[in-house]
Structure 1
Amino acid sequence: MGSLDGKVALVTGAARGQGLAHAAALAEQGATVVLVDICEQIASVPYGLATEEDLALAEKTVSAVGGKVLAKKIDARSSEQLADLVTEVVAQFGSIDVVVVNHGIWTRGALWDLTDSDWQDMMDVSLTGVWRVLKAAAPQLISQRSGSVVLTASVNGLEGQPGSSHYTAAKHGVLGLMKAAALEFAPFSVRVNAICPGFVDTAMTNWQGCYDMTGGKPGSTREEHEKSAHHWHAIGGLIQPSEISGAVVFLASDSASRITGVALPVDGGHLVLPTFNPAPSFI
């Protein structure tokens, strides 16, 4: 018996990283899982985004856990694609009980150096795309008068990040959207919450621009990146995607039946550090 037996969960950004970890964790708890990812590159993003091959592998990975799985190549910037997806999922599985809106991008640049497309791509994907998923799922959630929505925000939804003003603005926006959505969905017994991860080890943080940020100089290495991560968290270094998934499963489950409108940090104590931790811990 799992905490999500009989539930249908839709997860965006699910081809790899946090999305894949969350999808597998939901499946382990008995949910039927719908995996969604763009599987295309966005020009302003300097690291490789997920591919169709990644999505196919994710489908096999989640299927191996057990239960039904559906994988779809969907662009969250398209309301039409999302509406068609919801129609297909409900027709095939009968409901959508959990919506995990996990997709997003992260790029770097001083606010005065960002181009219009840098800014717009960030907003279209990481904020407006979240609203589009909520809007597409809303008719089904409202009609069945039940459901749990979990949005992936960030600790940068609660604090600023120099060099990523567009990302910081988008993630602050996700939390504002979550709070408003929690109120609007509440009369229909639909809960809306957000997680705020710390420094998670995914493709989004595993590229040279991120190494330079964490290492404090151009040409910083992956080894320096890993070492620096111990300054970002009170507990441990880089967070693994699966370490975020427990919070997602909890918020999706009936164990959180009275929790809505909450921004839950899963950050290894990052937000309680007194500005900067001068003593890295290698435990």
Structure 2
Amino acid sequence: MADGVQRVAFITGAARGQGRAHAVRLAAEGIDVVAVDICADIDTIPYALGTRAELEETCALVEKEGRRASLQVADVREFDQLQRAFAAGTAEIGADCADIVIANAGGCAYPSDVDEVRAFKDAVDIMLVGVWNTVKVTTPPLIETGRPGAVVMTSSTAAVRGFTGGWGGLDGYTAAKAGILGLMRVFANLLGPHNIRVNAILPTGVDSGMTRNEAFANWIAGAAEHPVSNLRNVLPGVDVLQPADVADAVAWLVSEQGRYITGVCLPVDAGFCNA
């Protein structure tokens, strides 16, 4: 706690990967966590998503750092579910709001035998509508308190490189991640007068459930054979980042050191965007 004020982070997609890394990293900085995940698979995404057991493990890791954690199961596509999760989570840890919001939930509908129109829609609903829902649910109570805050939206290098596409789910992924950059700029302007900063991160490939599966391996092999852009990171020896690498950048963005940074698209990419 800074100056005796409880700090709380509301994190979506927190069961594993980047979401878990953000939760643990922020807990190490003395921040309580509302950890949210759908804890169910989505049929247009051809790999297993985070489970309730994994979300429970995230909360246990937060508590191991000496902070409070609230486990909340919700689908970010459903505004009412997310609103209930926010209300229940903040109440459980005794907070009136969350001053840190990490809109991180996502997934990639790699080519499969499902209808690509549904895959496109699911991608946009999860990673664009879901981000909008997250910000709209969490920021009004923060504005009411008059306290400063920070929102970070998880975009992707795909948003500015255009290398992910050619099938409905992949097109939806890139469209959603690019759309996040527009939303970020709008909310940075809307929320700035309330001293709430809004930024987006653009990670390169990250070692997580989204990349550790057969569907990803099949897609990336095809992308390498028929590249639409250079698919290599610039820094040597960096094939993928670890979730903790991204969490370090996010922790800096939401910290006092980042207090004058808003409306920024921050690549965390080992030089991928510049290649």
Same fold (TM over 0.5): yes
The runs of 4+ residues in structure 1 deviating greater than 6 Å are 1-5
Amino acid at match of 2:154: T
Aligned length: 262
Distance 2:179 2:65 in 1: 34
How far has the Cα of 1:55 moved from its partner?
0.9
CA contact (8 A) 1:11 1:36 kept: yes
How far has the Cα of 1:209 moved from its partner?
2.3
With normalisation by structure 1, the TM-score equals 0.86
CA contact (8 A) 1:3 1:29 kept: no
**Secondary structure in 1 aligned to 2:232?**
helix
CA contact (8 A) 2:26 2:251 kept: yes
Amino acid at match of 2:54: D
Q: How does 1:34-183 map to 2 (within 5 A)?
A: 34-91=34-91, 92-109=94-111, 115-145=116-146, 146-161=148-163, 162-163=165-166, 164-183=170-189
With normalisation by structure 2, the TM-score equals 0.88
**Secondary structure in 2 aligned to 1:93?**
coil
Distance 2:77 2:58 in 1: 22
How far has the Cα of 1:59 moved from its partner?
1.3
CA offsets 1:34-81 (integer angstroms, 9 cap, x no match)? 110000111101000011111111111221122111111111111112
Q: CA RMSD in A?
A: 2.5
How far has the Cα of 1:157 moved from its partner?
1.5
- Aligned position for 1:226: none
- Aligned position for 2:207: 201
1:212 corresponds to 2:213? no
Distance 1:45 1:155, change over 3 A: same
Distance 1:216 1:115, change over 3 A: closer
- Among candidates 217, 238, 243, match of residue 240 of structure 2: 238
In structure 2, the gaps of 5 or more residues are none
In structure 1, the gaps of 5 or more residues are 221-228, 274-283
How far has the Cα of 1:200 moved from its partner?
0.4
